[in-house]
Amino acid sequence: MMTRNLAVRVVLALMLACCVGLAGAAPGKVGVVSFENSGAKAAQADFLYGLAQLHNFEYDSAAEAFRRAQKTDPGFAMAYWGEAMTYNHPVWFQQNQAAARAALARLAPTPEERQAKARTAREKDYLHAVEILYGEGSKHERDRRYAQAMEALHARYPADVDATCFYALALLGTSDAGRHLPTYMRSAALMQEVFEHHPQHPGAAHYLIHSVDDAVHAPLGLRAARAYGKIAPEADHAQHMTAHIYLALGMWDETVRANEIALQVRYKQMLAKDAKARAPACGHYIIWLSYANVQQGRMDDARGIIENCAARLRGANLASATPEQRQNYENSLAGLAQMRSRYIIDGADAQDPIADLAPLMAQHKEAAMVWAVTDAWMALRSAAAQAEAADAAVARAREAIGAAQSFKPDDVDVAPEHARYRIPAIEMAMLDGQLALRKGDRNRALALFRQAAQQEQSLEMDFGPPVLVQPANELLGAALLELKQPAEARKAFDAANALAPGRRAVRQGLAAADAMPAGAPSTTVAGTR
């Protein structure tokens, strides 16, 4: 890293001269951080633990630690800054402005009074940046002004590792219209340097992974992924984050293992708070685990995961649920719809394991769209389906897609041009193409499939399982196989593999294309495996 400049040396000298604490490594197995600050010595352990967990996105744990530091040292300005930071989740496009302002107000009622509480110029700069983050204006405006403030802080204190990390994270938080590649590469460059010089810092490895977890750039994050799980073995999110790289590279064994460990760590944390806690049955890690199982052909394992989540949702009692619990329930429904879709479509298994949940899914627009599109997919690719049944299924999907196009989840704030608002139209084009193919209109079908494939490739690159029910180039490849065009099918499958490497359907499609001489008869039905 860069040598400390004179200004930084002066600031640190003044801090030490007035008996401030010089923080060392964070306790616990959550990573190694250090952060010079003016807090009492007795508050350092909690502050550092909170800082490490903040970098790990273990926000509840971090907030609790920062509040303990506040209790030990009520005038510790950076402890309030830390708690406020836990209410901003940049890469998830989530922010609780009211909670953050309340945390800052406990330090002092106004920004000016809070500035007076900070004992060093550096701490004043950190507080100034967080005031911008939760100040006036729209979230989009505040995110951008905050990133500019963190850029200035990083420039002022180039040896401050955490300033560099939070600046990189702030950059990622400005990509609310989807992955803006130049911005992500700026973040990656910052984090690559920090990771090289501070290989145990949780933020360095974590934010580097976030910066390069698309299929094209994922190889740049493989070393960080292999390191991060060891850096923070007691942070479940850290264990899961390694899968962001493994999945992007089609490393299915590693993806399964990473999410299994994440779930084990999470359950251990839950048991520490409540001896009667039930193991997680739904949620983000579960979705990724189920997806990786399907790609490996481990269908019994995938089905078990789906049925376990469904059983938990069937038995949910929302009568006294908090708004957060209700939001988690709706997110779990959407996740379950995705898992069902992957199981049926990617696994080529027409047997629906949770068909009885259709009425419940219909109440939630995001889940309803995925459910209806999957139903239409099943009807269209079933050789025994009647034309009327397929038409009806597509009509229901069209209605659900129309409702989803204007749906905005309550817990995220993304730009109107974000991919999530363009995906429904691509799904509809793929369904219309399959309907045309079933009716014998090959030209229209191929035109629609190619249109969907072009639209898919125009989307900003994303992380995790594909955002479409089935990748459009993958479906195009299957249709070209059906039409006995193996050379063109291979091109489509290669394009699909570039966006989502190692998927089961692509592997099978490429093998089928290789085995089929041009003009040979095919028994493949578009969309089947």
Residue 13 CB-density burial (10 A; 0-12 exposed, 13-18 middle, 19+ buried) = exposed
* Exposure string for 411-449, b = 16+ CB within 10 A, e = fewer: eebbeeebbbbbbbebbbbbbbbbbbbbeeeeeebbebb
Q: Give the start-to-end residue ranges of the domains of the chain.
A: 1-234, 380-529
Q: Which two tokens stand for residue 102?
A: 């309340």
Chunked into runs of 10 residues, the chain (529 residues) has average pLDDT values of 32 32 57 96 97 97 98 98 98 95 98 96 98 96 97 97 98 91 97 97 98 97 97 97 98 98 97 95 96 96 96 87 86 95 85 92 90 92 73 90 74 71 90 91 96 92 90 96 94 96 95 83 44
Q: 208 Cβ partners below 8 Å, 6+ apart?
A: 188, 191, 192, 195, 220, 221, 224
The DSSP symbol for 137 reads: S
Q: How far is CA 444 from CA 207, 379, 387, 440, 486, in A?
A: 44, 19, 17, 9, 19
Q: Where are the beta strands (DSSP E) in 394-513?
A: none
Q: How far is CA 509 from CA 247, 436, 438, in A?
A: 19, 21, 20
Q: Determine if residue 441 is left, alpha or beta; phi over 0 gives left, psi from -120 to 50 gives alpha, anything else beta.
A: beta
**Strand pairing of 94-95 and 88-89?**
antiparallel
Gap between the Cα atoms of 79 and 75, Å rounded? 9
The whole-number pLDDT of residue 3 equals: 34
Gap between the Cα atoms of 37 and 46, Å rounded? 13
Backbone angles phi, psi at 363, to 5 degrees: -85, -10
Asked if 165 and 194 count as a contact pair (C-beta separation under 8 A), the reply is yes
94: β partners: 89
Q: How far is CA 12 from CA 7, 9, 81, 120, 344, in A?
A: 9, 5, 19, 9, 60
Asked if 476 and 450 count as a contact pair (C-beta separation under 8 A), the reply is yes
3-state secondary structure 42-83: HHHHHHHHHHHHHHCCCHHHHHHHHHHHHHHCCCCHHHHHHH
Angle at which helices 442-458 and 472-482 cross, to 10°: 160
Backbone angles phi, psi at 95, to 5 degrees: -160, 135
The whole-number pLDDT of residue 234 equals: 96
The whole-number pLDDT of residue 404 equals: 76
Distance of CA 38 to the CA centre of its chain: 35
The CATH code of domain 1-234 reads 1.25.40
The whole-number pLDDT of residue 382 equals: 77
Backbone angles phi, psi at 58, to 5 degrees: -90, 75
- Is it true that 1-234 and 380-529 share their CATH fold? yes
For the full predicted model, state whether its pTM sits above 0.85.
Answer: yes
- Tell which CATH classification among 3.30.1380, 1.25.40, 3.30.70, 1.10.10 matches the domain 380-529: 1.25.40
Match 């190692």 to its residue by tokens: 502
